[in-house]
Amino acid sequence: MSRHHPTCLFQECVTVRSRVCSLILYVARGLFQYLSGFGNEFSSEDPRCPGALPKGQNSPQVCPYGLYAEQLSGSAFTCPRPTNKRSWFYRILPSVRHKPYTTVDNGNLTETWDEMHPDPNQLRWLPFTILKSSEKKVDFVTGLHTICGAGDTKTRNGISIHMFTCNTSMIDRYVLTFYHLRLFLSVPQQGKILVTTEFGKMMVEPKEICVIQQGMRFSVDVFGDTRGYVLEVYGAHFELPDLGPIGANGLANPRDFLTPVAWYEDREVANGYTVINKYQGKLFSSQQDFSPFNVVAWHGNYTPYKYHLSNFMVMNCVAFDHADPSIFTVLTAKSTRPGVAIADFVIFPPRWGVADHTFRPPYYHRNCMSEFMGLIEGHYEAKEEGFQPGGGSLHSMMTPHGPDGACFEKNSTAPLKPERVAEGTMAFMFESSFSMAVTKWGLETCQKLDKSYYKCWEPLRKHFDPNWRNLHLGPL
């Protein structure tokens, strides 16, 4: 085995028992490996322990290397085979060995949707503040802030949307797990994050997303001031959208989704590990003296994964009119109603605009769905000013929205030649069939609500001319 293999690098650090040293080596040499595919049956074992996966069965009387077998179920046992989700871990100690859970402060993480009076207005937030580490050390857990949401984790039907702003890693302090959500989608906007899971490690950079599914333990390391968006879905797993007449290829292709390979650590820390659990909307913590990331090998189809948004195969109009934004859907969490999503993750990537006789920016709209938008980089085409990277907007169910006055005037007279749209830009949308309630933190505490947002439409002026037909087509 090469001395530069990632497992050897971690063995170099065993003598100093330093996860910090390990991370520095791991990141500096870019040693991240992944398995390709979406929803595949994967298997992986850490090369330090070849043959750790049992042969021909899941739970032998004695596992190789004296490991414990543990199953993680992401669906009911009796779900139809195409939707049945589970993985098997082979770990040094089982996750059941921990001290009792006790309640901890939720901070600005909430699922209390009635703390503020409903607000049907168009809402926009300026970029959310990232505290400097010299002011206060903030890790991923304490840096989570709920903006809006709906539904209930007890019935596992709903969603919530958060911002995370942090400057400090969770090293040896926290491991996070969510008991009720089906999935946890993270969209870094500033700064890359290193996500350590029971399955292995993922480096996730801006313009990449990662999905951590229900019950999976993870921690987040950062490398400076870091900010991003989070979508929690309580009721369904993400799927790739059906392609219909598009055919077999297009949008987000399965091969571009990446799952980490097995990596384990076998170590103890003086003060133990703190495992944070989000249960029925509240945070709880427990202590254990061994690493939660002690999985030597695993197999199954229930895994975390990441995806780079630049791999999205864009579809667009090549004749006339503006297609609905559903053509930009990366992932969908379906409801029980056909064609209606609990949540869709939609992006607005760089692409060509070629439609003739067409107002090319997004049309004016009142939607039966709620639309939360974020901006990773660049300038969103329908509002080039005001909507900034690291901020957000919420257009609630049936609340009117669309291009601002400057965008309308510019694009109503622009020459319709082929042009690049959204070059250097990546905007996204969390779209949901739920009517979203905004939290007190989102409306007041964060102090980032742009109360002048409505003014971007005030320059829209009347163009109606009752004599238009006579002037352009002649009298009847």
CA distance 348 to 425: 8
Residues near 460 by beta carbon (within 8 Å), at least 6 away in sequence:
405, 408
Q: Which long-range contacts (CB under 8 A, 24 or more apart) does 335-340 make?
A: 335/235, 335/236, 335/433, 337/433, 340/433
Q: Is 5 annotated as a binding residue?
A: no
CA distances from 373 to 110, 148, 166, 238, 393 (A): 20, 12, 21, 19, 5
289 token code pair? 């003296």
Residues near 289 by beta carbon (within 8 Å), at least 6 away in sequence:
268, 269, 272, 273
453 token code pair? 């947002």
- Cβ–Cβ under 8 Å, residues 106 and 143: no
Q: Is 401 annotated as a binding residue?
A: yes
- Burial per residue of 224-243, b for 16 or more beta-carbon CB atoms within 10 angstroms, e otherwise: eebbbbbbbbbbbbbebbee
Q: Which long-range contacts (CB under 8 A, 24 or more apart) does 204-208 make?
A: 204/306, 206/376, 206/377, 207/308, 207/309, 207/310, 207/376, 207/377, 207/426, 208/306, 208/307, 208/308, 208/309
Residues near 429 by beta carbon (within 8 Å), at least 6 away in sequence:
325, 344, 345, 346, 347, 348, 371, 372, 373, 374
Q: Is 322 one of the annotated active-site residues of the chain?
A: yes
160 token code pair? 């919530």
Per the document, the length of the chain is 476
CA distance 73 to 92: 19
Q: Is 264 annotated as a binding residue?
A: no
Q: Is 98 annotated as a binding residue?
A: no
CA distance 81 to 115: 41
Alpha helices in 4-78 (DSSP H): 6-14, 19-28
Q: Partners of 286 in the beta sheet?
A: 275
380 token code pair? 């969103």
320 token code pair? 């006339």
145, 237, 308, 322: the active-site residue: 322
CA distance 146 to 161: 6
357: exposed, middle or buried (C-beta count within 10 Å: 0-12, 13-18, 19+)? exposed
Binding-site entries:
365, 371, 380, 401
Question: Which residues are catalytically annotated?
Answer: 322
Residues tagged in the binding site annotation for Fe cation: 365, 371, 401
